[in-house]
């Protein structure tokens, strides 16, 4: 039997950083949002949906982004929502790593190859799944109907792969810095069971026109 009320989940990727623009692998490296990122977050804030619970990765670029998006709301920080850990590759540019055989092998098969001293794709996936299972049940038990998650490209791709109404591979999803996507479940029991959402839409960054 379907429940009367639905659940809305908005996923926001943090604002772009200087390291993102320079194509540096940052993973768990704690860096700040760049000025360009702040400007887009401010635009996203103007038209984003309201949220009853805001959960963010605990890394600075997400904490800052959550503060720009929801300046007057309480936030909860969750380490499980961090980006994949790139290990010894953290802080290095792609062109610098391109000379390494293990990096080339990882680019060819990232779901099977592990970054040196980093996190495998399986470990990353299990971490994101565990974090989402906890968040989902917690929000369900508290009767939360509007949820916002501020995280990184990898975790958002993983959540969209599992929850979007249309099945796509991990790499087919392209979450944009400073922007969001909203997933909606018409039936909150389906949400609790971890089923795919009913609909998916982009969070607007400009005012919608009529017609």
* Order of strands across the sheet that contains 199-202: 75-77, 53-56, 146-151, 7-13, 180-185, 199-202
d(CA 152, CA 13): 5
Q: Would you put residue 114 in left (φ > 0), alpha (ψ -120 to 50) or beta?
A: beta
103-148: per-residue pLDDT in tens? 999 999 999 999 999 999 999 999 999 999 999 999 999 999 999 9
Return the sign of the alpha-carbon dihedral for residues 164, 170, 171, 174. Answer: positive
Residue 21 main-chain phi, psi, to 5 deg: -65, -30
Element (H, E) at 7: strand 7-13
Lookup: tokens for 164: 């979007």
Q: What is the mean pLDDT of the chain?
A: 94
Give the range among 59-63, 87-91, 204-208 with minimum mean pLDDT.
204-208
CA distance 53 to 173: 25
For CA atoms 44, 46, 52, 53, the dihedral sign is positive
In whole angstroms, what is the distance from residue 193 CA to residue 8 CA?
Answer: 15
Tokens of 110: 């990232």
Q: The tokens of 29 are what?
A: 């490296």
Do the Cβ atoms of 192 and 137 come closer than 8 Å? yes
Contact predicate 27/84, CB 8 Å: yes
Q: pTM for the whole thing?
A: 0.94
Contact 179, 12 (CB under 8 A): yes
Residue 5: the pLDDT is: 81
117 Rama class: left (phi>0) / alpha (psi -120 to 50) / beta: left
DSSP 8-state code for residue 146 = E
Specify whether the backbone of 17 is left (phi greater than 0), alpha (psi in -120 to 50) or beta: beta
Question: pLDDT digits over 164-198, tens only?
Answer: 999 999 999 999 999 999 999 999 999 999 999 99
Output the pLDDT for position 208: 57
């Amino acid at each position: 039997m379907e429940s009367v009320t639905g659940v809305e989940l908005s996923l926001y990727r943090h604002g772009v950083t200087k390291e993102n623009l320079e194509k540096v692998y940052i993973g768990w490296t704690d860096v700040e949002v760049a000025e360009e990122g702040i400007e887009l977050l401010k635009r996203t804030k103007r038209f984003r949906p309201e949220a009853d619970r805001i959960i963010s990765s605990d890394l600075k670029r997400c904490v800052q982004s959550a503060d720009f998006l929801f300046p007057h709301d309480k936030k909860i920080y969750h380490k499980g929502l961090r980006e994949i850990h790139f290990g010894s590759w953290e802080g290095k540019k792609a062109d610098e790593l391109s000379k390494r055989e293990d990096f080339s092998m990882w680019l060819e098969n990232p779901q099977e190859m592990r970054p040196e001293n980093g996190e495998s794709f399986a470990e990353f996936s299990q971490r994101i799944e565990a974090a989402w299972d906890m968040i989902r049940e917690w929000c369900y038990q508290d009767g939360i109907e509007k949820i916002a998650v501020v995280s990184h490209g990898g975790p958002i791709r993983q959540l969209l792969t599992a929850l979007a109404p249309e099945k796509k591979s991990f790499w087919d999803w392209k979450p944009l810095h400073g922007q969001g996507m909203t997933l909606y479940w018409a039936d909150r029991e389906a949400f609790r069971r971890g089923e795919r959402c009913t609909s998916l839409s982009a969070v607007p960054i400009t005012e919608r026109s009529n017609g």
